[in-house]
Amino acid sequence: MDVEIRPCASAEEVSHAITPIRYYFGRTGPDENQTEQLIRVLPAERVYAAWEGDRAVGGLGAFPLQLTVPGGRVPAAGVTVVGVLPTHRRRGLLRGMMRALLDACHQRSEPVAYLWATEDTIYGRFGFGLASFTGDIDLSRERSAFHAPFAASGRVRLVSPAAAEEYVAPIYDRVAGVTPGMFERSSPWWHNRTLADPDWRRGSGGELQCAVLEDEGRPSAYALYRMNWAFDRGLQSGAVAVIEAIGESPQATGAIWRYLLDIDWMARVRAGLLPLDHPLLLLVAEPRRLGFSLRDGVWVRLIDVRTALSARSYRPEGSVVIEVADQFCPWNAGSWRIGRDGVDRTDDAPALRCDVTALGSVYLGGFTWTRLASALRVQELASGAAAHADTIFEASSAPWCPEIF
Distances (CA, A) of 330 to 2, 18, 102, 244, 302: 28, 29, 12, 39, 12
Report the SS3 class of residue 185: coil
State the Cα–Cα distance between residues 322 and 370, nearest whole angstrom: 14
Q: pLDDT, tens digit, for every residue of 246-271? A: 999 999 999 999 999 999 999 999 99
Angle at 234 between CA 230 and CA 237, to 5 degrees: 35
CB 268 within 8 A of CB 141: yes
State the Cα–Cα distance between residues 367 and 359, nearest whole angstrom: 10
- Going along the chain from its start, the domains and CATH numbers come out as 4-110 (3.40.630.30), 134-294 (3.40.630.30), 302-393 (3.30.1050.10)
CB 382 within 8 A of CB 402: no
Q: pLDDT, tens digit, for every residue of 203-258? A: 878 999 999 999 999 999 999 999 998 888 878 889 999 999 999 999 999 999 99
CB 280 within 8 A of CB 318: no
Number of H helices and number of E strands within the chain? Answer: 13, 21
State the Cα–Cα distance between residues 276 and 170, nearest whole angstrom: 24
Segment 353-381 mean pLDDT: 98
Segment 271-298 mean pLDDT: 97
- Please tell me the predicted confidence (pLDDT) of residue 72: 97
- Catalytic positions, written as ranges: 123, 405
